[in-house]
Structures are given as C-alpha cells and as structure tokens.
Amino acid sequence: MQKTTRQYKDTFFRTLFGINETFLELYNAVSGNHILADTNITLYPPNPILARFNDLAACIGYQLIVFFEHQSTISMNMPIRILPYAIDTLYSYIIDMNKLYGSKLVKIPAPKFYVLYNGVQRLERRILRLSDSFIINDGEPALELTVIIIDINYNSGEAALARSTTLNGYSYLVAEIRRNLSAGMTRDAAISAAIDRCINQGILQEFLSNNYGEVIKMLNYEYNAEAERKVLWQEGMQEGIQKGIQGIDLIVKLQHEGLSLEEAVVEAKKTLS
C-alpha cells in the first residue's frame, strides 16, 4: 500500500479507509453488495459539521455513501444530527447550484448513512429514522432520513468484520489498545504495543509498517481528543447538576417569601441565567 501523506491531525479511520480500494471494501462489507473495483468512486473531504465523528463520504456510481466512525454511546438523535451534514454534502459537492433553479429536474445520488460504532457497550445492528422524532407521525413522512448503526467491535459477531480484512484489522487494533490500557499501560505504550502485535501477526501489516510513526501520532491525537471530550462532558454535567441544585434551593426560598410555584420558577430562571 502506498505511504500516506496525510497529517497526523487527520484520523486513523479516515486515513485507512480514505482511499478508493478500502472505501469500496468497507462498503461492500457493511452492505453485503459486490460492487466491482473498476466502479467510479469520488471521495469527498471530511465535513466539519459533525466534528465529533470521523466521517467518510463518497459517490459510488449513483449512490452517495457516508460512513461515521463513532466511539461514544449511540444517541437516538443521530438522524437529526446527520441531516445538516447530508444537505451540506449535497450542496457543496454534488448539486450544481446554477441548475437548481431551472425547470429541469436535478438528479442526485441516492444517499445511504452508516454509523460504525465501536464504543464499549455492545449493540445489535439497527436502523434509526428521522421520522421517529416527529411529534406527530401519521402516515408517510414528508421528510425521512435513515441511519444504519453497525457494531464493529472485534468479536461482536457482525458479518461485515468477516467480509473485510481491513475492517477486522482496524477493530482488532482498537481492541488491543483498549486491552493494553486496561492492563495499566500508558497510552503511548498501549498504542505502540498494539501496533507491534498487529504487525507481528500480519494484521494490517503493510499499512502499519509503512506508516508506523504517523499512525502512532494519529492514534495519540484521537485518544487525546476523546479524553478531552469526556472531561468537558463531565464538567458540563457537574455544572448542570450544580445549577439545578441552586435553582431548586432558590425556588424553595422564593416560595417561602410568598411567591407561587410558577412565579418562583420564572424568577429563578431570571436570576440564574
């Protein structure tokens, strides 16, 4: 495999699957299709709208295939979060805006969205729908977006892992890093040891050997970013809890001063805003 020239602040996932050959392998694995290697593929750059995801998007023939690699708990709001991404990708790279206001119908590739989940909690393959969020959902929805959630954890039993040696190798490497961290290794040591083990066992051997130092930098950057997000989330939770306690105390105090519950809530919101 040709040595990548991507910067380490890109992600390992995008670097590994961000070429035509492995992107097509990944799509065939998760979809169960057998699209041939000579099919026209156009890869698009990562989209900043969903910064917490490692996204990959490409047109394969007449389909727009979008993958998101995600390491946290899956949210039921994924379709809502992906909706602006889909529109931005279509408008930025696919739709000719000069033709959009003409009388002739503008054709677009059929989109498919996959979230490749490798968080700690195990999941079964499932489909989330935008229409599940609608307050009123009667009949055929006027707007729909479906997201296929796939658990790519190593030994999860997901069929896509057996169909793609690259995806299986990626999942194995992530599992090895986690195992090393659980054994008490530092992050640097855990990543290096996992890469060495993969190379010795012939897993992603050529790619990891040719890009050894760069892969370590990318994985270190990703784990740093993930740890930072967790800290920020925890701080936000603690701040929210603290404000909630302050709000309850203030409401009780205002009620003791003669305000009704409704009046106390309104006044507390003003005070704490």
- Judge if pTM exceeds 0.85: no
Segment 83-124, tens digit of pLDDT: 999 999 999 999 999 999 999 999 999 999 999 999 888 888
**Mean per-residue pLDDT for 196-211?**
97
Q: How many CA atoms lie within 13 A of 123 on its CB side?
A: 23
**Mean per-residue pLDDT for 152-173?**
96
CA distance 140 to 159: 32
The pLDDT of residue 214 is above 90:
yes
Tokens of 80: 């809502």
Residues above pLDDT 70, as percent of the chain: 82
180 close to 193: Cβ distance less than 8 angstroms? yes
Which strand (E) or helix (H) includes residue 54?
strand 54-60
Per-domain residue ranges of the chain: 1-158, 164-210, 226-273
For residue 243, what pLDDT is reported? 59
Segment 17-33, tens digit of pLDDT: 999 999 999 999 999 99
Q: Please name which of 145, 148, 147 lies closest in space to residue 130, comparing C-alpha atoms.
A: 145
For residue 50, what pLDDT is reported? 75
The pLDDT of residue 228 is above 60:
no
Strand intervals (E) in 79-135: 110-117, 126-129
Q: Please name which of 63, 68, 81 lies closest in space to residue 11, comparing C-alpha atoms.
A: 68
pLDDT bin (cut points 50, 70, 90) of residue 271 is confident
**Mean per-residue pLDDT for 251-267?**
70
